[in-house]
Structure 1
């Protein structure tokens, strides 16, 4: 199929935060390839802040999943707004709709066809006009998604992940403020509170000038929909006596507690830091999208596919695939090597 010089391309990625972050290299490459074309993205309200303010997009289309609706939002209202948005997309005369999830997505292909584009591009046997073959190659998620770029004549390795942050643009990152994110969705990636306490104490001894921004998902641990880490954060702060002088601004305290209730709050909190220590998950990919050096603790997930992309990093994983088996000393050594500029060993 002939590639138009100014195509109208819609990228669909409805998955989790990290999945969308790993799609930003493709979006950026498409913008560089077609600076005068039209480029949009269709995402859900949960992951949309990843692309908010992106200079690579002409427009961001956001819909709300039923399980993500806010208090007071009705299901009919959500579905009506979604239908209006899809009708508008259908009238736009799209050339390509790219379903950027590197798995068969037959349902999304049917939705894409309803938008009446000239072509639907997707992965695997799913009824798309162009079906990229599934592969068992040991690729990173960024590389899996970036295979779409070859169809537009884009060669070379994928670029870095990219997230826009007003905080980073306005204030810049503080190299001596280290973000420590203590929450993790998967049980295999939850490091105990006492380990975080011991790590911070150890790093404060070896790097007296460091300050720490403690980040966590707020709420009670027994919330069935969105388990939080208020109790875990409280125990860490109490053990470290982190409140400091009552008159000191939060940003000047040795330990600054930040409960990130929303994704924009998490992005803003990360953007002001010089490095990140966390478990594999959405926060790790956000840090990579902001260009932060990262020490990441992996549990039961693939380091090859989900490690931080194109940023200085140290990846720690045990044969048990449980982060509880990673020692405090190992994390501290990884951070010291990362801060000292010691090259990472080959994967």
Structure 2
């Protein structure tokens, strides 16, 4: 692949998970600083693209729908036609360079070929296995002479939406320090038990009189396309019935970002919500089961990480979680 020059139009392709895209936002900031007059676009997917809304380092976001993310009633042909139209739109823009921060992924390379840029840039810097995902993504920029430490991740909450969510909260939460509890996790070994969230909240409230906002992946557990934790959330609310708590059901990623922005700290397992919280600059207590803590820990924010030897968060006690929260500089 050719050496990049001074591009006028740059397209970054990041079409995987929410956390991966959040971990790429330092790259966008560095690109904007290096090429202040360039057009910088991002090709993402319909699932992760909302984390880029309001990002000042990006000129335009293009999102396609993965077949597994199709809405009910949307056929395969309609989704594929939408994708073809998007690629044709990008191809007509005569992109100078496509950057693939996720590496040599077959699907990302395929999109790059379809867009037909003048150059394709893929990270070629050899990094240690312990390198963070932010550093792995940022390594692409070495070809532009950008080799500094990556800045913090960036997620922009919708302030009017946050204000509307705040206006719906119970009066019992008014004036209290709010702590976010996010109970969902994709991997079974990263799901902390509901009763421990309740016990932790009880101790935090007794010691600090704080309130709680509860977040989770909405939906029924048996939904074949988008399984959720509505039942677990209802159970947790019932167990916290005498505490100042509000369940914030987030049907859209923008609602999750806005809701998290109202909180002083976040307690959650490794996952997309954790990286969004980091992008919002929130101190985090995070539970890691069988995921790589060196690669995926919160980037450039205060955090306390708990990962038991068993690599199953069920072995993290309430006392350990409370001690971790007290280690945060804001506690």
TM-score relative to the length of structure 1:
0.87
Q: Is the 8 A contact 1:175 1:273 kept in 2?
A: no
Please say if 1:275 is aligned against 2:280. Answer: no
The 1:320/1:25 distance shift into structure 2, 3 A limit, reads same
The unaligned stretches of length 5 or more in structure 1 are 124-131, 245-253, 342-347
1:121 and 2:116 aligned: no
1:307-334 deviation digits (Å, cap 9, x = unpaired): 0000011011111011010110111111
Judge conservation of contact 2:15–2:108 (CA < 8 Å) in 1: no
Find 1:309's aligned residue among 299, 323, 328.
299
**CA contact under 8 A between 1:175 and 1:274: conserved in structure 2?**
no
- Do 2:68 and 2:225's aligned partners in 1 also have CA atoms closer than 8 Å? no
2:172 counterpart of 1:163: no
The verdict on how the C-alpha distance between 1:29 and 1:176 changes in structure 2, with shifts beyond 3 A counting, is: same
**Shift in Å at residue 71 of structure 1?**
2.3
280-289 or 254-263, which deviates more: 254-263
Q: Deviations over 1:241-268 (max 9, x none)?
A: 15x7xxxxxxxxx101112222122111
1:325 corresponds in structure 2 to 315
Alpha-carbon distance change, 143 to 2 in structure 1, aligned in 2, over 3 angstroms: closer
The 5 A counterparts of 1:1-347 are 1=3, 3-4=5-6, 7-102=8-103, 104-123=104-123, 132-133=124-125, 135-167=127-159, 176-208=177-209, 210-242=210-242, 254-340=244-330
| Alpha-carbon distance change, 170 to 232 in structure 1, aligned in 2, over 3 angstroms | closer
Q: CA deviation at 1:340?
A: 4.8
Alignment RMSD? 2.1
Assess if the C-alpha contact under 8 Å between 2:269 and 2:286 holds in 1: yes
Query: Hey, what's the Cα distance between the residues in 2 that align with 1:117 and 1:235?
Result: 52
- Aligned to 2:264, the other structure's residue is in SS state strand
**TM-superposed deviation, 1:162:** 0.3
CA contact (8 A) 1:167 1:272 kept: no
Q: 2-side partners of 1:111 and 1:220: how far apart?
A: 34
Rounded Cα–Cα distance in structure 2 between residues aligned with 1:333 and 1:185? 25
CA contact (8 A) 2:162 2:259 kept: no
Q: How many angstroms does 1:108 deviate by?
A: 2.7
**Structure 1 residue 76: Cα displacement:** 2.1
Query: 1:230 and 1:169 mapped to 2: Cα distance?
Result: 22
Provide the aligned length of Structure 1 versus Structure 2.
320
With normalisation by structure 2, the TM-score equals: 0.91
How far apart in 2 are the matches of 1:92 and 1:21? Answer: 26
After alignment, is 163-172 or 193-202 more displaced? 163-172
TM-superposition CA deviations, 1:94-127 (whole Å, max 9, x none) = 111011213x22343233123221111124xxxx
Rounded to whole Å, the distance in 2 between the matches of 1:14 and 1:298 is: 24
